[in-house]
Amino acid sequence: MAAAFGRYHTAVVRGIPDSVRYDALIQAEQRDYVDVEKARQEHAAYVQALRDLGLKIVELPGAEDLPDCPFVEDCAVVCNGTALVTRPGHSSRRGEVHAVKKVLEEDLGLEVVHMVEDEATMDGGDVLFTGKEFFVGLSNRTNEAGARILAETFPDYSVTTVPIARGLHLKCFCTMAAPDVMAVGEGPEAQRAWQEIRARGDHKYAVLNIPDDGAANCMFVNGTIMHCAADEFPKSAKTFTSARLEYPRVQVPNKELAKVDGSLTCLSLLI
């Protein structure tokens, strides 16, 4: 049925438009301006890291009218050969899905389901797939109607909702570090979400508590853990490097896009 958790052959990414500097959505009150050139360098390093892990890269061009378009994760949820193309929670981002849908359907041959219901919203960043079940954060960007469509699209798995009061997406502070191992930030919102997951999920997971919430966003790709850089999150990076897990680790810089709430998982769709 499902392949072993965390095995992928392709990644879909998207180039960074100049407009990210001034127009990308931010949660913070004050904008910390993205150095676009540096962001592009970091992005290239990220893409190379994926390539090094054996993934084929499909890169979509950035679009100036879609400043958040590098965060392709929010546009779809891909699992077992089916892609659910979402209806992003923020109206300014709805346009991002078209190019993504096209490439998933036509170039990658996936079975595509498009979330078209008017009331349903979903950002892929709220959807945590553990390999055994789904957790969907109900946040400002993702609602129950969207979660319901996800549940219908992937009937093999239970879909459990997790309320998110603060923070952008569930995966901002909670991701899979390895099979059955969840990286969870130490902040209160993150720990609360983790308690929900523990109580209401179908399966058991070990937890890797990460000092900085933002650093809890990591990726398990083809047997390797990609995580935050030491100069951005020294304590958290140390937690990753010293964790007793059998997998090799790779540090990936992401200083610039973090200013606009972009974290590692946001930058790709893994298939």
Partner 1 sequence: MPSEEGANEVNQQDAVPAENKTEVKTSPVKKTKPVKMQLCRVLLLDGTEYEVELDKKAKGQQLFDMICDHLNLLEKDYFGITYRDPQDQKYWLDPLKEIRKQIKDLEEKENVIIPPGGPWVFGFNVKFYPPDPAQLQEDITRYQLSLQIRDDILKGRLPCSFVTHALLGSYIVQSELGDYDPEEHSADYLSEFKFAPNQTKELEEKVMELHKTHKGQTPAEAELHYLENAKKLAMYGVDLHHAKVRQDEKDDSEGVEIMLGVCANGLLIYRDRLRINRFAWPKILKISFKRSNFYIKIRPGEFEQFESTIGFKLPNHRAAKRLWKVCVEHHTFFRLVSPEPPPKSKILFLGSKFRYSGRTQHQTRQISALIDRPAPNFERTLSKRFSSKSMDAGLWTSPGYAPYREQNRPDLSKLPPDMSASADAVGAGKLPYADDVPPQGDESQGEKDAEQQRRQKNIHEMKMEFLSQTPQPAPGGWDARTPPKTLSQQKEEKEEHEVAAAVQETVPPVAEPEVNGTETHAAPPEPAAPEELTNKVDDDDEIPNVENAVVDELESQEPPTVEVKTETVKYVASDEAQPEFTSSVPIVKTESKTITYEQNEDGEPDQDPGVLVSAQTVTSETISTTTTTHITKTVKGGVAETRIEKRIVITGDTDIDHDQYMKKDGTLETHMERTTVLTGDSNQDEALADLIKEAADQNPDMTVTKVVVHKEEGEQQVTTNGTGEDD
Q: Contact residues for partner 1 (CB under 8 A)?
A: 1, 80-82, 111, 132-133, 136, 144, 147-148, 151-152, 154-161, 178, 180-181, 184, 194-195, 198-209, 243-245
The distance of closest approach from Cβ of residue 5 to partner 1 in the complex, given in angstroms and rounded to an integer, is 13
Q: Is residue 93 marked as binding?
A: yes
Query: Do strands 10-14 and 269-270 pair parallel, antiparallel, or not at all (unpaired)?
Result: antiparallel
The distance of closest approach from Cβ of residue 158 to partner 1 in the complex, given in angstroms and rounded to an integer, is 4
The distance of closest approach from Cβ of residue 161 to partner 1 in the complex, given in angstroms and rounded to an integer, is 6
Positive or negative torsion for Cα 116, 23, 172, 215:
positive
Rg for the chain (alpha carbons), in Å?
17
Single out the residue of 271, 270, 269, 268 nearest to residue 45, CA to CA: 268
**Given the structure tokens 């946040």, which residue do they identify?**
139
User: What's the CA gap between 76 and 67, in Å, rounded?
Assistant: 17
Amino acid at position 244, single letter: R
| Residue 227 is a catalytic residue | no
For partner 1, the closer of residues 14 and 224 by Cβ is 224
| Residue 266 is a catalytic residue | yes
Q: Is residue 128 marked as binding?
A: no
Three-state DSSP state, 63: coil
One of 75, 169, 218, 228 is an active-site residue; which one? 169
Q: Is residue 105 marked as binding?
A: no
Q: Is residue 25 marked as binding?
A: yes
Residue ranges at the known binding site for substrate: 25, 68, 73-74, 93, 141, 260
